Structure 1
Amino acid sequence: MSLGFDFGTANCCVAHLVEGKVSPIPLVDDNIYLPSTLCAPNAESVSEYLFRCLDITPSNDTNQAVLRRAIKINREEGLDIHADDVKFGHQALKLYLEDPKDVYFVKSPKSFLGAMGLRDMQLSYFEDLVCAMMSNIKRSAEANTNQSFEQTVIGRPVNFLGRGGEASNIQAVDILTRAAKRAGFKDIEFQYEPVAAGLDFEATLTTDQNVLVVDIGGGTTDCSMIQMGPSWQGKMERKESLLAHTGQMVGGNDLDIFIAFRCLMTEFGLGSKLKSGLDLPLIQFWNAIAINDVQAQRDFYAHDNLSMLRQFHKEALEPQKLQRLVALHQETLGHSVIHQAELAKIAMSEQTDYVTNIDLVSEAFEVATDRASIDAAIENPMNKIRALVQEAVTQSGIKPDVIYMTGGSSRSTALTSAVASVLPNTEIISGNYFGSVTAGLTHWANLIYR
C-alpha cells in the first residue's frame, strides 16, 4: 500500500486512497495533523530511542558513532530510555512548556536539513530526528488502518535553503530518504509540494488553464506556474506542464520570528541602551528567537553567552528587561516566546488587537499587539514572498489565469494581499490550507505505484 506523506515544517499529515478517494489518516486520536515537534529527556535520547525501543539500526558508520556517543552520555547521566520518554506533536509541546529547562525540544527539524557547513555527526543526528518522527507517523497510520505501508511519495519544497542552492537540496533529500528507509518504507519518491497542491486543484478544472500555485508553508514558500486541466489529468510525465519554479526558505515560522522580534523582544530589552549610551547588540535578541537557525540558537544558548548577558544586565539602563533575556536563556524559553507570537499571528486573521502572555517561570507579563504592528513586523518576509511570485511569472513568461494559494500560512490576510499586489487583476482561489499537498501526494503515489 502507498502513502502520501506531507512531512511539513509546521505539521505532518499522511493519507491513502480508499475507493478512489483521498482518506487522511488520524495520527493522534481523531487529529489528522501532527505538529512537527519532538521532545525527549535530552538530545542523545533520540538516537538510543530508535535503537533500543524501535529496533531501528544505524544507516552508516557515522550513525553508529552517534549511537555509541548517545548511549555513553545517557549511561553517565543515569538515563534509561523507554518508549514513552520521546513525545511527538502536541504532547511534545505540552511537555516542553511544562518544564522547558530540563527537556530537549525540537520544532520543525525540516528547516535544518538544508543547512550548509554541518559536520557529518550533526547530519546523522538530524537523520535520527527525522527517522523518529517518520517512524512514529508510519506506525500510527498502520495501527489506525490495519494496513502496512511500504511505498510513499514525500513532499519537498523547491528549495530547502536558499543560500545553499542545489547542494542544500541534495543534502536534505538524502537525509529524508535515509530516514524514510530506516522507518520502514521500501519505495520512496518525492514530489514538489506546490506541484502536489496543484494536482489536487486540477481535479476541479473543466478547461486547461495556466495556474500559479503559491504554497506558503511553515518553513518555505514555493511558487509553480503549471499548465493544468483535463488534458493533463492522469499523466505520469508532467515536465512539459511545469513552466516555472521558485522557492525560498521563508514561511510561517519566519512570520512568527519577525513578530516575536519586532513586537515582543522590546520587553526583553530590544531598543534599550547601556549606561554608556551604546545600543544593546541586536544579534542577542534575534538569536534568542531564531528557532530555525541552528548556529544562531547555538550561539545564544552557549555558556559563554550567558556571562555576556549578565554583564549587559549590570550595565543596562533598563535592567529589569535584560533580566528577562537572562531568564529566557537560563530556562531555554525561545520556543515559548515564538509560540506566543504564532498565537498573535493567528488571532490577527480575525481581530485587530491581541494580548500575548509571556511566562518566564520567574515572571509572567502581558504584551499588547495590534494588526498594524503585526503587518509592519512581517514586511520583510512578505517582500520575499512577493519577489518569489514575480520571479515565477518572469520565468514562465506568461500571466496566470488563476492563482491557487495553499499552505497553512496562506490563511494570513496580509500574505494574500501581498500576493494580490503582484498580480492585482488575477483571481485568487484558496485551497485546503493544510490538506491539498497531502491529497496531491496521495494521488501521485497511486499513479506511480499502481
Structure 2
Amino acid sequence: MFVGMDFGTSNSAVGMVDSKGVARIVSHDNAGLSERAHSDTLRSMVAFDRAHRNADGLPLPLVGQEGIAAYLNSGDECRLLQSFKSHLTSQLFTSATIFNRPYTLERLIAIVVERLRRGAEADGSAPVTQVVAGRPVRFVAEDGKDSDEYALKRLSEAFAQAGIAEIAFEFEPIAAAYYYERTLDRDETVLVADFGGGTSDFCLVRLGPSRAGMANPKDAIIGTNGIGIAGDTFDRRIVERGIAEFFGKNTTYHSNRKDLPVPDWIYGKFSRWHHIGFLGTGSTLRMLRDIQRHASHPERIEDLLTLIEYNLGYHLYRAVEQAKVALSQHEETTFVFDHAPVRVERRITRAEFESWIAPEREQIEACVDSLLESTGTTASQVDRVFMTGGSSLVPVVRAIFDRRFGADRVSAGGEFVSVASGLAYRAAELFGRR
C-alpha cells in the first residue's frame, strides 16, 4: 500500500494506491458537523478542550471536525488552532502555550499528521512509515523572501514526530498532474493549476506515456510558480467588503464632540473565523458596550457583541463559504446568517464578488504569465490546462485560463482529492521501485 498525504492549509486528505495500482481516498468522520457522516477531507485544525483529558490530566488534542465540535460547544474552555501550514515560514511562531503547556508548531502539525496516518493504517490494515507529502511550489515568508529550506525542515520534523520514518515531498500541482495523467494515452504539455486554501500553484509539465520511461520522471517538469492567494483569501474579501458592515464596520459613534469610526482593528480579527472569539475579553466587550451607547447604528454593534459572546465565527464563515459556492453556479445569491437573535441577509451578485477579488485575480494572472515567460512557453504550445482545488470552480478564476488558452483546452476535476491521489501515485512510483 502506497500513501500520499495532502496536508493543506484548511483541509487535508490521504490517498492510497494498492498493489494493483488503483487509488482511493481515505474517509474521515465528520463528527456530526455535516449531513454526510464521512468526508474525503479532514479539517487541518486542532482543539484542546479542558473537558477532554488523558490519564495524566492533560487536555487531549481533538483533530478536524471533532475539534470544531468541541470548540463550538465549550467556549472559553477550548483552544482551537488552525492554518499551521501558513506559519511554517515564520521565524516568530515557534510554539503556542495551551493551558500552561507549550506546543511547538512542528508538534501541532504532527498531531494532524498522526490522525491522517492512523486513518490510512485503519483503511489499509498495515503500518504507514513511508509517505509522499505535498508542498506548495513556493514557501514565501511575510517579508516576501523565499523560505523553502526553513519551511521544509520544519515540515519534515513534524512528519517524523508523527511516526513517518521516510518522507518525500512533491509539488502539489505536480501531484495533481499525476492524477490527470491517468487519463492520457498520448503525450501532452500541460499547465496544472492547483488552487488550495492558502496558495495557488502552477506547473508546466510534459505528461503521458513517455514520462514513465524517463530515468528521472521529474525531468518532465518545464517550470513552476506559485502565489499565496487562494480560497481563504476570497472568503475574507466577502466578509470584509460585503458582510462586516452589518456588524458595525464603518459605523460611527459620538465621543468628545466628534464622530469617530468603530476601531478598524476589531474587523482585522474577522480575517479568520476563530479569531473573532479573541475579541471576547472584558476590556474589549466593555469598550464595545460604551461605543454602542453612542453609535449611529447601535443595533449593528449589538449584533457584533452577540457574534463575539456566542462564538459564532465558525457559523459566519460557513455561511460565507456557502455564498461563494452559490456564486460559482449562479449570477447572484442571498447570503443568510441566521443565529438568533442575529439575522443578516444580503443579496450578493457575482459581479460584486468579482470586483472584491479583482486585485487577487490580477496577481494570479501575473503569476501564470510569469511562468509562461520564464519557461519561454507560448499559450499555443500548451496542449491542456488542468485546474483543480476548490477555487478552480470560481468562474472569474476559470476565465483567466479560458481567455489565454481557449475554453476547449481547459478542463478540471478532483477538486478536493486530486492532489492526495496524485501523491499516492507518486509514492507508488517512488517506493515501488525498491
TM-score (norm 1): 0.82
Aligned pairs, number? 412
- Secondary structure class of the residue paired with 1:263: helix
Instruction: Name the residue aligned to 1:59.
Output: none
Q: Which residue of 1 aligns with 2:342?
A: 364
The answer (yes or no) to whether the contact 1:337–1:358 under 8 Å persists in 2 is no
8 Å contact 1:40–1:86 — kept in the other structure? yes
Which residue, 238, 262, 270 being the options, matches 1:280? 262
2:85 counterpart residue number: 110
Q: Structure 2 CA distance, aligned partners of 1:34 and 1:298?
A: 22
Q: Indicate which of 50, 68, 71 corresponds to 1:93.
A: 68
Q: Which residue of 1 aligns with 2:366?
A: 387
Whole-Å separation in 1 of the counterparts to 2:93 and 2:321:
28
Residue 233 and residue 41 in structure 1: after superposition, are their counterparts in 2 closer, same or farther (change >3 A)? Answer: same
Structure 1 residue aligned with 2:46: 38
Q: Does the Cα contact within 8 Å between 1:160 and 1:248 map onto a contact in 2?
A: no
CA distance in 1, matches of 2:141, 2:196: 15
* More helix as a share of residues: 1
Q: CA deviation at 1:430?
A: 0.5
- Report whether the alignment pairs 1:408 with 2:390: yes
SS at match of 2:212: coil
Q: Work out whether 1:353 is the aligned partner of 2:326.
A: no
Matches of 1:253 and 1:288, distance apart in 2? 14
**Range moving further from structure 2, 18-27 or 245-254:** 18-27
Which residue does 1:444 correspond to in 2?
426
- The Cα shift of 1:331 comes to 4.3
Q: Is the 8 A contact 1:101 1:331 kept in 2?
A: no
More strand by share: 2
**Offset of residue 273 of structure 1:** 2.3
For 1:146-161, list aligned pairs within 5 A.
146-161=125-140
CA contact (8 A) 2:61 2:111 kept: no
**Deviation at residue 157 of structure 1 after TM alignment:** 0.7
Is the 1:403–1:427 contact (alpha carbons within 8 Å) kept by the matching residues of 2? yes
Q: Runs of 5+ in structure 2 lacking a partner?
A: 30-36
What SS does the corresponding residue of 2:336 show, helix, strand or coil?
A: strand
Measure, in 1, the Cα distance between the counterparts of 2:280 and 2:222: 44
1:290 maps onto 2:271 in alignment? yes
Aligned residues of 1:210 and 1:228 also touching (Cα < 8 A): yes
Question: Is contact 1:219-1:254 (8 Å) kept?
Answer: yes
Give percent identity, aligned residues only: 25
SS in 1 for 2:210: coil
- Alpha-carbon separation, structure 2, partners of 1:298 and 1:357: 17
Q: Deviations over 1:40-60 (max 9, x none)?
A: 216x98xxx7xx67xxxxxxx
1:354-408, Cα deviation, whole Å (9 max, x unpaired): 232143x7x3213223233333333233222222222211222212222110112
- TM-score, scaled to structure 2: 0.84
Per the alignment, residue 353 of structure 2 pairs with: 374
- In structure 1, the residue corresponding to 2:373 is in which secondary structure? helix
Question: Cα offset for 1:302?
Answer: 6.6
1:93-242 mapped onto 2 (5 Å cutoff): 93-119=68-94, 125-161=104-140, 163-165=142-144, 168-233=147-212, 235=214, 237-242=216-221
Instruction: State the Cα deviation string for residues 62-106 of structure 1 (Å, max 9, x = none).
Output: xxxxxxxxx9xxxxxxxx346xx5433333333333444442223
**Deviation of the 1:303 alpha carbon:** 6.2
Which shifted more, 209-218 or 346-355?
A: 346-355
Determine if the alignment matches structure 1 residue 326 to structure 2 residue 327: no
Write the distance in 2 (CA, Å) between the matches of 1:300 and 1:442: 42
